[in-house]
Amino acid sequence: MSTYLIKGARVVGAEPTDLLLRDGVVVESGRGLDARGARVVDADGLVALPGLVDLHTHLREPGREDAETVESGSRAAALGGYTAVCAMANTSPVADTAGVVEQVWRLGREAGLVDVQPIGAVTVGLGGERLAELGAMADSAARVRIFSDDGHCVADPRLMRRALEYVKAFDGVIAQHAEEPRLTEGAQLHEGEVSTRLGLTGWPAVAEEAIIARDVLLAEHVGSRLHVCHVSTAGSVEVLRQAKARGVRVTAEVTPHHLLLTDELAASYDPVFKVNPPLRTASDVAALRAALVEGIIDVVATDHAPHALEDKECEWAYARPGMLGLETALPVLLSVLGERWDLIAERMSRIPARIAGLTEHGHDPVPGAVANLTLVDPAARRTVDPAELASRSRNTPYAGTVLPGRIMATFLRGEPTVLDGKAVK
């Protein structure tokens, strides 16, 4: 294993210090450390953060390797400053057995760019009718702890209750895609002024809020952990606020795009802005930002959703929903929050690592910690160019946008996955 000396990094924004990485661990910190044969990484002006952890990534393998693979998605993640990602189960075949989650887990190990933690499906084939083999997935080599039918809502309250009860045995969590399907049939974008103006069927905020309200009550009733995926409305924030005040074991995530973009973009009819849940209004965006700062929303998760060209470059109504996120998440958060490094570390690394039970992740790079970290240049500004992305897909909503911050290096267990802003393999 190699030894690296990172010179002059501001750990979570503090005064510059050197960090010595050896045998996968941060072994020493302080000013003017002796290189002693270590490879030196100049981090002058850079901020060191604990490696980012994404609770919600679509890697598309197995099944849609044309859109993304475990390897290409892992590379995109490393370039985005991530050291761990949780891979959603809506692959083909669905990750609803020990065999499939172990396959994804093994592909992640082979790629070796980030830790890939598979999420297991809640129901067989995401069909919403029968519980999948949750226990077998938990006991597998992949040690699954998060279960989700993401892409679909576990709409049946009895199944949702049973899933919540089942995962208690191994401190698992159900991550719900909160969408009452009967309220979103044929929906094309957020139900509001813009949908009325365009004459398109809307996806009402209440379809999300009604499921969150039901699920926090179910989680409270059975004493289980619930995680709410991609929260997108001001009303959802209020439901979560009340549940948390009562002590319900609920956590929630928001995506970078729901913190920055609004439904006005749908008026362009450019399917790159089609996503589920849909982009909402400016007042929802403001409420989500405030909730993230306050902690009503616990984490930022990308919902990185790569899609092949033919699934995106078509008419709005036929386009698949979803947008890329891994390579732009931190720059978007910097533009939304500014250089609030401790808050960023909390929402993008420490808390997501805790929710996922990834004990090696989410620790600040200080002596004794596993050397999972990323180095960010906060002074850099970059124009997003889809052609430069490591993802196999091109569906970023930020093409041509100038965003602050650049990830200059990422280390996974002391080995660089990104150096000088480029992937090392």
Ligand X SMILES: NC(=O)N[C@@H](CC(=O)O)C(=O)O
- What residues are designated binding site for Zn(2+)? 56, 58, 150, 177, 230, 303
Whether 86 and 54 have beta carbons less than 8 Å apart is answered as yes
- State the Cα angle at 379 between 378 and 382, rounded to 5°: 90
Residue number with CB closer to ligand X (82 or 203): 203
Whether 290 and 259 have beta carbons less than 8 Å apart is answered as no
Which of Zn ion, ligand X, none lies near 275, with the C-beta cut-off 5 to 8 A by kind? Answer: ligand X
CA dist., res. 253 & res. 154, Å (int): 17
Q: How far is the CB of 120 from Zn ion (least distance, A)?
A: 14
Tokens describing residue 250: 């609920």
Residue number with CB closer to ligand X (80 or 151): 151
Residue number with CB closer to ligand X (67 or 407): 67
Catalytic residue, candidates 18, 149, 284, 303: 303
**Dihedral Cα 166, 167, 169, 172, nearest 10 deg:** 180
Give the closest residue to 257 by CA, choosing from 280, 226, 225: 280
Q: How far is the CB of 340 from ligand X (least distance, A)?
A: 26
Q: Summarize as ranges the residues that interact with ligand X (CB under 6 A).
A: 58, 90, 150-151, 177, 275-276, 303, 305, 320-322
Among 64, 75, 177, 307, binds Zn ion (CB under 5 A): 177
Residue number with CB closer to Zn ion (18 or 150): 150
Residue 303 annotated in active site: yes
| Interface positions, 276-305, toward Zn ion (CB under 5 A) | 303
CA dist., res. 271 & res. 50, Å (int): 34
Binding positions for substrate are 58-60, 90, 276, 307, 321-322
**Dihedral Cα 221, 225, 231, 236, nearest 10 deg:** 20
Instruction: Determine the 3-state secondary structure of 400 from DSSP.
Output: coil
CA dist., res. 352 & res. 212, Å (int): 19
Binding mask 111-150 for Zn ion (x = CB under 5 A): ---------------------------------------x
Q: How far is the CB of 306 from Zn ion (least distance, A)?
A: 11
Q: Which residues bind to Zn ion, rule: CB under 5 A?
A: 150, 177, 303
Active site residues: 303
